[in-house]
Amino acid sequence: MKIISINAGSSSLKFSLINMENENVIANGVFERIGIDGHYKIKFEGKTYEEDTELKNHSDAVNILLEKLINLKIVKSLDEIEGVGHRVVQGKDVFDKSVIVDDDVLQKLESIKHFAPLHNPANMLGIKAFMKALPNVPNTVVFDTAFHQTMDKETYIYPVPYEWYEKYGIRKYGAHGTSHRYITETVSDILNTKNFKLISCHIGNGASITAVKDGKCVDTSMGFTPLAGVMMGTRSGDIDPSILPPVMEAENKTIDDIINDLNKHSGILGMSGISSDMRDLTEAYNKNDERAILTMNKYARRITDYIAQYYVLLKGTDIIVFTAGIGENSFLTRKLVCDNLKCLGVEIDEEKNKNCHGKELISTPNSKIKIYVIPTDEELMIAKDTLNLIKKK
Ligand code: AMP
């Protein structure tokens, strides 16, 4: 059985075709510059096929993708594709799990799209393009927010006028839920139990920390939008909102300009003035660049702050997992964070931490909390949800 996982953005569409019998990726790639000019890149059996081609809209991208799957002999017939799973960024409190797309789901998606205006409408374009191109194949939607719907009200409510929540749905929704759920399920397999206290650190260009008890999310660091929580590649994370008016006035900026600064020009990039990329920051840190050292330490501190907060919330922690681009690859970040956590009895094996590739335990047998690195796989999670929903149909 073959399933396609789709992540559609406003001008791009990423795909992974997955063989669900062995959970291997058969082919993957990206269609970019949709609505501008157009380019695609498809990876299959160690080769990369890429070309500039006109992509007027998402339907063009889907049609060319399906054509290429046949022409490159990735599949013999499109009948081999039994389901298409779509990542959707915001499901609000309307969706607490993945679902098969039908008219009711489309209507609900339409009603909440303004909660993620840059993402949800683009995700919907992907869904509609596949519904048109493969009308007999079920589509599913898998939400970044769904895993966090188990947070209780005391956790998701903000200490602002209560009417903002009632009238405008202002509350914490979180993000990266599909990744945190993948980590939770993997930890459950590793520990062979569903009863554990986990702190899942998804640290990539975007970053969020999630506290999980017995398989359920109890708190997460991102908020109403992904701008909240720890500092990230280009996002500030939590700040005092009162810093905005003086900067807006001095630089003659609108609220949109300044929110854009907090999303795109802050975090590692803004603080270091070097780059948003952890590899560049690490290089400068190793050359003793003063601002790189400040940024790196601040970055580790913000992650530590959330881990400490969740350690208390969970009343202890069995396991901390590092995942995503930085969590999986930056041993320096893991070292600095774990050094900050020594007072909780955390002890990592320096060699294992330095040489870790793939899924690995990096703490010592003496460590009071197990520290793991686990590569995340959101595409597989989307495909698995799709398979499960199709089976139940
Ligand atoms: P993601 O958003 O999950 O793709 O993660 C992107 C981040 O991972 C960027 O900051 C990269 O610099 C970082 N990253 C990827 N590979 C490495 C590496 N080998 N060492 C340090 N950071 C890395």
End-to-end CA distance of the chain: 16
Nearest to 90 by CA among 159, 145, 40, 51: 145
What ligand 1 atom has the least distance to the C-alpha of 282?
21
Q: Is 339 a catalytic residue?
A: no
**Does residue 37 sit in helix, strand or coil?**
coil
What ligand 1 atom has the least distance to the C-alpha of 278?
12
Ligand 1 atom 4 nearest Cα? 325
Share of the chain above pLDDT 90, in %: 98
DSSP string, 226-261: TTSSS--SS---S--GGGHHHHHHHHT--HHHHHHH
Ligand 1 centroid–CA 100 distance in Å is: 33
Nearest to 285 by CA among 232, 331, 221: 331
CA distance 97 to 58: 25
Of the residues 60, 144, 377, 385, only one is catalytic, namely 144
Rounded to 5 degrees, φ, ψ at 166 are: -65, -45
What residue has token string 């960024």? 89
Q: Is the CB of 233 under 6 A from ligand 1?
A: yes
Given 3-state DSSP classes, what are the helix, strand and coil percentages for the chain, each rounded to the nearest 5? 45, 20, 35
Ligand 1 centroid–CA 340 distance in Å is: 21
36 compared with 393, residue with greater pLDDT:
36
State mean pLDDT over 133-157.
97
Ranges assigned E (strand) in the chain: 2-8, 13-19, 24-32, 39-44, 47-52, 81-88, 99-100, 139-143, 197-203, 207-213, 216-220, 319-323, 360-361, 370-373
State mean pLDDT over 231-260.
97
Ligand 1 centroid–CA 112 distance in Å is: 32
Quick one: how far is CA 219 from the chain centroid? 16
Q: Is the CB of 278 under 6 A from ligand 1?
A: yes
Mean confidence (pLDDT) of the chain: 97
Quick one: how far is CA 49 from the chain centroid? 27
State mean pLDDT over 95-103.
97
DSSP string, 69-119: HHHTTS-S-GGGEEEEEEEES--TTT-SS-EE--HHHHHHHHHHGGGSTTT
User: Does the global pTM surpass 0.75?
Assistant: yes
Q: Is the CB of 325 under 6 A from ligand 1?
A: yes
Ligand 1 atom 18 nearest Cα? 329
Burial 214-245 (b: 16+ CB within 10 A, else e): ebebbbbbbbbbbbbbbbbbbbbbeeeeeebe
Mutate to test the pocket of ligand 1, among 144, 231, 326 (most ligand atoms within 8 A of CB): 326
The pLDDT-based confidence of 10 (bands split at 50, 70, 90) is: confident
Mutate to test the pocket of ligand 1, among 232, 282, 330, 355 (most ligand atoms within 8 A of CB): 330
CA distance 365 to 169: 46
Nearest to 57 by CA among 88, 116, 121, 11: 11
Is the model's pLDDT at 63 over the cut of 90?
Answer: yes
The pLDDT of residue 393: 81
Ligand 1 centroid–CA 279 distance in Å is: 7
The pLDDT of residue 118: 85
Mutate to test the pocket of ligand 1, among 205, 328, 356, 377 (most ligand atoms within 8 A of CB): 205
Condensed to tens digits (0 to 9), the pLDDT of residues 327-359 reads 999 999 999 999 999 999 999 999 999 999 899
What ligand 1 atom has the least distance to the C-alpha of 268?
10
The pLDDT of residue 202: 98
Tell me the C-alpha to C-alpha distance, in Å, between residue 297 and each of 260, 272, 294, 328, 363. Answer: 24, 11, 5, 18, 21
Ligand 1 atom 17 nearest Cα? 329
Dihedral, CA of residue 124, residue 125, residue 128 and residue 132, to nearest 10: -170
Ligand 1 atom 8 nearest Cα? 325
Domains recognised in the chain with CATH numbers: 2-143 (3.30.420.40), 192-378 (3.30.420.40)
Q: Is the CB of 367 under 6 A from ligand 1?
A: no
Nearest to 27 by CA among 10, 2, 53: 2
Nearest to 80 by CA among 166, 170, 191, 4: 4
Is the model's pLDDT at 140 over the cut of 90?
Answer: yes
CA distance 326 to 349: 18
